[in-house]
């Protein structure tokens, strides 16, 4: 007998039937159909490329366990009609081998999407039909002008189907793309970087990116040595995203409730309700925000401090994590919300917007208002040093510039920094307008961010880095 590749909808329906046959009390099935295409270049030439197609099926079976409910989770790629029975049986067996789950709650029910019956959307190399020739032109131009270009372009489309024994039938397509590019001078002693997120590459202009790289490399025609220390520093939106993404990932409600987070309150409880910044700064997620659209329902293939496999399909809505400087919510599943006494269930959402009320203007406007300080491009290799303060360490990279009397006057050496993004929210003295941003370090897989540029009067550059 030949194995048959099932449609996503058939996979869901058959898996739910099989789970019932196996004796499961409940079942959630997630089918993710993924396609992607990428181009990578270095030293002014293409180096690698790829076009990938993937299919992933996750079965979450639930069974009674003592006075509670247990869950078994099994994921497989390359699922056929012949292998689906084994997957479902494994999930049910895994549930039976587990004790009652703390986070067990009734499965989310009732929602049937109007587009449930539609086929998966796809991407392919054709997404680069306009981009690739323009990229080729910039590579040739860089060779003629004695510059070096290194970069990566990626486009991915995920179509996710979620069905459950409680009646849930949801489908959502999520496109995501980005380009990032590093330019170096002929002797490779100076470098600059640009990057942008996109949904379809129609808004990406390789010639414009190359022009910005050329402008920044031009700033490096003069180089200045600057010592480590606390410097007035302008963080452009990309660098703010580098730091705030870490803060966002730390908003775990259970960790805070248990006293092991920067958002824990001495004496017990969390810092929800506490003013983190006297500035009118906000951190908000909304799955429907224009340009940063993401899954409008919870998706969890495993349970953790702020997520639960029982919450799959839970509708997501706009959530203020920080509003007017005050911590409003931490990330919770239904279980952790109850455990921690949170006033609402606020699961993680795959985007965020940082904004400062009333702030306008661009990076260039902040530069024009700075007498003496640094403008950095992006941050790199950021890791937690001390979770108590959320102290992070990392490096500046590919373009740190000296600002004097409102103008960029040259490039300076790189630095290692030690800073906490929670502290920075309370210390910045000026901000610009919030714009779509692309974190250098995390943008490859967390690209739906919008952030303002910030001026920090005393950014802690711990030591000098020789890297260039």
Partner 1 sequence: MPEVDASFLALPRRELAEAALRRARDLGAEFAEFRLERIRSESISLRDGVLESARDDEDLGLAVRVIHDGTWGFAAGVALTTDEAIRVAEQAVNLAQVSRPINSERIELADEPVYDAVTWVSAYDVDPQSVPRADKVALLTDYSHRLLSAAGVDHVTASVATVHECKYYANSKGTSYTQQRVRIGPEIQAVAVDAETGRFDSMASCAPPAGRGWEYLTGTGWDWDEELAAIPGWLAEKMAAPSVEPGRYDLVVDPTNLWLTIHESIGHATELDRALGYEANYAGTSFATLDKLGTLQYGSPVMHVTGDRVADHGLSTVGYDDEGVAGQQWDLVKDGVLVGYQVDRRMAKVNEDVLGTPRSNGCAYADSAGHIPIQRMANVSLQPAENGPSTEELISRVRNGIYIVGDKSWSIDMQRYNFQFTGQRFYKITDGKLDGQLRDVAYQATTTEFWGSMEAVGGPQTYVLGGALNCGKAQPAQSGAVTHGCPSALFRGVNILNTTQEAGR
Site for partner 1 in 78-97 (CB under 8 A): 78, 90, 94, 97
Q: Pairing between strand 229-235 and 454-465?
A: antiparallel
Closest contact distance (angstroms) between CB of 458 and partner 1 is 8
Residues whose CB is less than 8 angstroms from the CB of residue 190 and which lie 6 or more positions away in sequence, other chains included: 184, 217, 220, 223, 411, 468
54 binds partner 1 (CB under 8 A): yes
Nearer to partner 1, 169 or 335 (CB): 335
Closest contact distance (angstroms) between CB of 433 and partner 1 is 28
Residue 311 near residue 108 (C-beta atoms within 8 A): yes
358 binds partner 1 (CB under 8 A): no
52 binds partner 1 (CB under 8 A): yes
Range in contact with partner 1 (rule: CB under 8 A) among 45-53, 169-177, 276-284, 350-358 = 45-53
Among 88, 92, 157, 181, binds partner 1 (CB under 8 A): 181
333 binds partner 1 (CB under 8 A): no
434 to 463, contacts with partner 1 by CB under 8 A?
A: 444-445, 460, 462-463
Nearer to partner 1, 111 or 339 (CB): 339
Among 8, 26, 151, 236, binds partner 1 (CB under 8 A): 151
154 binds partner 1 (CB under 8 A): yes
Helices 206-219 & 131-144 angle (0-180, nearest 10): 30
Nearer to partner 1, 86 or 404 (CB): 86
393 to 422, contacts with partner 1 by CB under 8 A?
A: 393-395, 397-398, 414, 416, 418, 420
Closest contact distance (angstroms) between CB of 423 and partner 1 is 7
Closest contact distance (angstroms) between CB of 108 and partner 1 is 18
Nearer to partner 1, 193 or 297 (CB): 193
Residue 117 gets which letter from DSSP?
T
125 binds partner 1 (CB under 8 A): yes
Q: Rounded to whole angstroms, what are the CA distances from 215 to 49, 185, 200, 289?
A: 28, 12, 26, 32
Among 85, 105, 301, 326, binds partner 1 (CB under 8 A): 301
Distance CA 332, CA 316 (A): 12
Max CA separation in the chain (angstroms) = 77
Among 104, 148, 171, 238, binds partner 1 (CB under 8 A): 148
Closest contact distance (angstroms) between CB of 203 and partner 1 is 20
CA angle 288–177–199, rounded 5-degree value:
40
Nearer to partner 1, 53 or 288 (CB): 53
97 to 116, contacts with partner 1 by CB under 8 A?
A: 97-99, 101-103
Residues whose CB is less than 8 angstroms from the CB of residue 338 and which lie 6 or more positions away in sequence, other chains included: none
Among 21, 23, 47, 208, binds partner 1 (CB under 8 A): 47
Distance CA 226, CA 393 (A): 19
Q: Rounded to whole angstroms, what are the CA distances from 163 to 12, 90, 287, 432?
A: 6, 18, 20, 43
Range in contact with partner 1 (rule: CB under 8 A) among 15-23, 234-242, 318-326, 381-389 = 381-389
20 binds partner 1 (CB under 8 A): no
Nearer to partner 1, 22 or 103 (CB): 103
Nearer to partner 1, 96 or 199 (CB): 96
Distance CA 458, CA 212 (A): 28
Query: Residue 93, Cβ neighbours under 10 Å: how many?
Result: 15
- Which residue in 273, 364, 360 sits closest to 321, CA to CA? 273
What residues pair up with 69 in beta bridges, in sequence order? Answer: 64
305 to 324, contacts with partner 1 by CB under 8 A?
A: 305, 309
Distance CA 346, CA 414 (A): 39
Nearer to partner 1, 173 or 462 (CB): 462
Residue 335 near residue 345 (C-beta atoms within 8 A): no
Question: How many helices (H) does the chain have, and how many strands (E)?
Answer: 9, 20
What residues pair up with 323 in beta bridges, in sequence order? Answer: 326
72 binds partner 1 (CB under 8 A): yes
């Amino acid at each position: 007998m030949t194995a048959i590749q099932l449609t996503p909808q058939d996979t869901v329906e058959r898996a739910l039937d099989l789970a019932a046959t196996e004796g499961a009390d409940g079942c959630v099935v997630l089918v993710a159909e993924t396609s992607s295409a990428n181009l990578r270049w270095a030293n002014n030439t293409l180096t690698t490329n790829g076009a990938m197609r993937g299919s992933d099926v996750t079965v979450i079976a639930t069974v009674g366990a003592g006075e509670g409910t247990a869950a078994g989770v099994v994921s497989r790629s390359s699922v056929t009609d012949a292998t689906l029975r084994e997957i479902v049986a494994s999930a049910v067996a895994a549930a039976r081998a587990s004790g009652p789950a703390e986070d067990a709650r009734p499965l989310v029910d009732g929602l049937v999407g109007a587009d449930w019956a539609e086929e998966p959307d796809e991407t392919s190399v054709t997404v680069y039909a306009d981009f690739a020739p323009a990229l080729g032109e910039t590579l040739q131009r860089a060779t003629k002008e004695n510059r070096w270009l290194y970069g990566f372009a990626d486009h991915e489309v995920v179509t996710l189907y979620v069905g459950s024994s409680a009646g849930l039938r949801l489908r959502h397509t999520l496109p995501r793309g980005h380009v990032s590019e590093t330019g170096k001078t002929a002797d490779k002693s100076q470098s600059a970087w640009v990057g942008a997120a996109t949904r379809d590459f129609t808004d990406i202009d390789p010639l414009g990116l190359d022009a910005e790289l050329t402008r920044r490399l031009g700033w490096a025609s003069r180089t200045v040595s600057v010592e480590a220390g606390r410097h007035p520093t302008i963080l452009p939106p990309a660098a703010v995203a580098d730091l705030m993404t870490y803060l966002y990932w730390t908003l775990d409600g259970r960790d805070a409730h248990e006293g092991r987070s920067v958002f824990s309150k001495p004496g017990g409880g969390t810092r929800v309700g506490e003013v983190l910044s006297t500035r009118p700064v906000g951190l908000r997620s909304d799955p429907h925000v224009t340009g940063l659209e993401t899954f409008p329902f919870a998706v969890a293939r495993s349970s953790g401090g702020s997520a639960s496999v029982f919450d799959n399909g839970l509708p997501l809505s706009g959530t203020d994590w920080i509003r007017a400087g005050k911590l409003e919510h931490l990330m919770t599943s239904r279980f952790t919300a109850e455990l921690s006494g949170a006033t609402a269930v606020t699961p993680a959402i795959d985007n965020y917007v940082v904004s400062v009320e009333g702030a306008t203007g661009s990076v260039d406007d902040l530069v024009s208002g700075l007498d003496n300080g640094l403008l950095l491009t992006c941050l790199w290799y950021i890791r937690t040093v001390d979770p108590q303060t959320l102290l992070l360490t990392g490096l500046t990279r590919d373009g740190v510039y000296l600002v004097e009397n409102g103008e960029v006057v040259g490039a300076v050496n790189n630095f290692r920094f030690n800073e906490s993004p929670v502290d920075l929210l309370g210390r910045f003295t000026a901000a610009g307008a919030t714009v779509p941003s692309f974190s250098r370090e995390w943008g490859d897989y967390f690209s739906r961010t919008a952030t303002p540029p910030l001026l920090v009067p005393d950014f802690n550059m711990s030591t000098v880095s020789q890297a260039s």
